[in-house]
Structure 1
Amino acid sequence: MKLQVLRRQVLDKLKLSNRGVKMLLVTGITGHTGRYFLQELIINNYEGPIRCIVRESSDTSLIDKSGLEIEKFIGDLRDEAFLDKCMKGVNKVVHIVNIRHTLPLIQAAIKNNVQRAICVHTTGIYSKFRLASEEYQIIEDKLKDILSETEINITILRPTMIYGDLVDRNMSKFIKMVDKLRFFPIVNNGKGLIQPVNARDLGKAYYNVLMIPDEKVKFEYVLSGDKPIALLDAFKLINKYLNKKTTFISFPLGFSVFIAKSLRLFTAGKVDYIERVQRMSEDRCFSHEEAKADFKYTPEPFEYGIEREVREYLNKQQVG
């Protein structure tokens, strides 16, 4: 029986290498938005071979049960030789895992004559604060230099604040805070605008961009949530769905920055929240009209998504 399985695997690999089918390479498919991208590939019966870069510790159960023609490459994206090996025979790349890996990945793609790459970056690059934008700007400036000397087709996707379930690093934290704190501190009356985007909508967007013909896709798309919402109003929605009676206490921006500076001084620079506090009053909302026009991008309202996530949180609390 084991011999038959082994023989089948060998035949499949030979079949794949001989038929000249164009291969899709995906990074970050086991991550938060990557899992929803995988779901879209499954729902739409994606045809063709897929190569997924995963870590040794990654949970690949969804990949294994997908029914798609997927091969797993286990390794480190920081390994140049590994990246070169991954790109052999690849036609398109969907890079989800982290903007910090974009440059070496694109260089490996160019070396192996990959035709198209879709890279998930961030709207954080638009922030006026250095901590939020400087590193991203440096990466993208270097990327533009690389692209000026090659013909690879690149598309940059820029999600806003990502949420959607308890593995997100944004709203899940706020849900816990609102649940635990009777008195909840906010900066500048919570007037700063945000536009959270659900991971489910991003998975659909990644797939739809992949399906756009190369000659019609734009260089970049903003993938924001349905509509802007004030930070305080987002907290109040969380409070409502938690059925809590939380009191929100506003502190002036200047006072909040003073406290953050004092904390940095007291800890000799080990704890520095100054720019994080300042960003609480920065509007982080962006239009997604180009995405809507080009591939009918229609993210769900925040009210629906956050109610689902709060419900998931409460169910987990009951089980725990």
Structure 2
Amino acid sequence: MSWTVLRPTLIYGCGIDKNVTFIAQLIRRFGFFPILGRGTGLRQPVHADDLAAACLQACLSPAAVNKAYNLSGGETLTYRDMVEAIFQQLGKKPRIISIPLPVFKILSRIMTRLPVAMITRMNQDLCFDHTAAYHDFAYSPRTFRDNDMGFERPINL
């Protein structure tokens, strides 16, 4: 049996993802977004539509048989830059509050609904090379900042 494994990075789009949509919901609701430290961790958000296209391309490519691929987005940006781009997509001026780690630990105990894992990774680089996917089945993802992020359907927190 032939197989191909696709490992996407931070997925967004369609308003149902757990990261970018969550950030957009908080921005809509409160008008600002808190980050831990400076938010310097690198991200490569990949749109769900690009992943769907990659699935089709990989299925049609003999070069993709029995291989695994990292599928990252078409742009590398810091966590802070990603949050600023979400503000811009929502038509809002970026209002980002940096929270020191000791203060965050106190707040996380108080606010149990915070996605702690997402927040603690804000300053970690989570980037992957998708060159092999480009060569084997022409994977070419869009950039994060210059497209529709799929916020047309608001989802309640």
TM bracket, shorter-chain basis: 0.7 to 0.9
TM-score, structure 1 length as denominator? 0.43
User: Aligned pair in 2 of structure 1 residues 218, 258: CA closer, same or farther (>3 Å)?
Assistant: farther
2:137 counterpart letter in structure 1: F
Give the distance between the partners of 1:272 and 1:173, measured in 2 at CA: 10
Question: CA-atom RMSD, angstroms?
Answer: 2.7
Give the distance between the partners of 1:272 and 1:299, measured in 2 at CA: 30
Which is richer in helix? Answer: 1
> For the pair shown, which has the larger CA radius of gyration, 1 or 2?
1
Contact 1:181 / 1:246 at 8 angstroms: preserved in 2?
Answer: no
**2:139 maps to which of 297, 312, 320:** 297
Aligned position for 2:53: 204
Partner SS state of residue 116, structure 1: coil
User: Aligned pair in 2 of structure 1 residues 309, 279: CA closer, same or farther (>3 Å)?
Assistant: same
Contact 1:239 / 1:245 at 8 angstroms: preserved in 2?
Answer: yes
1:289 counterpart letter in structure 2: T
Contact 1:191 / 1:230 at 8 angstroms: preserved in 2?
Answer: yes
Contact 2:134 / 2:140 at 8 angstroms: preserved in 1?
Answer: yes
Is the aligned partner of 1:248 residue 2:96? yes
**1:233 maps to which of 74, 81, 97:** 81
- The structure 1 segments of at least 4 consecutive aligned residues displaced by more than 6 Å after TM superposition are none
Contact 1:194 / 1:283 at 8 angstroms: preserved in 2?
Answer: yes
1:241 counterpart letter in structure 2: Q
What displacement does 1:220 show? 0.8
TM-score, structure 2 length as denominator? 0.83
**Deviation string, structure 1 residues 168-190 (Cα, Å, up to 9, x no partner):** 22211111111221332111112
- The percentage of aligned residue pairs carrying the same residue is 34
**2:43 maps to which of 188, 194, 216:** 194
**Deviation string, structure 1 residues 208-237 (Cα, Å, up to 9, x no partner):** 111122x76352100110121111111111
**1:174 maps to which of 14, 17, 23:** 23
Give the distance between the partners of 1:273 and 1:167, measured in 2 at CA: 16
**Deviation string, structure 1 residues 11-41 (Cα, Å, up to 9, x no partner):** xxxxxxxxxxxxxxxxxxxxxxxxxxxxxxx
Partner SS state of residue 239, structure 1: helix
Structure 1: segments with no counterpart, 5+ residues: 1-114, 118-154
Report the number of matched residues. Answer: 155
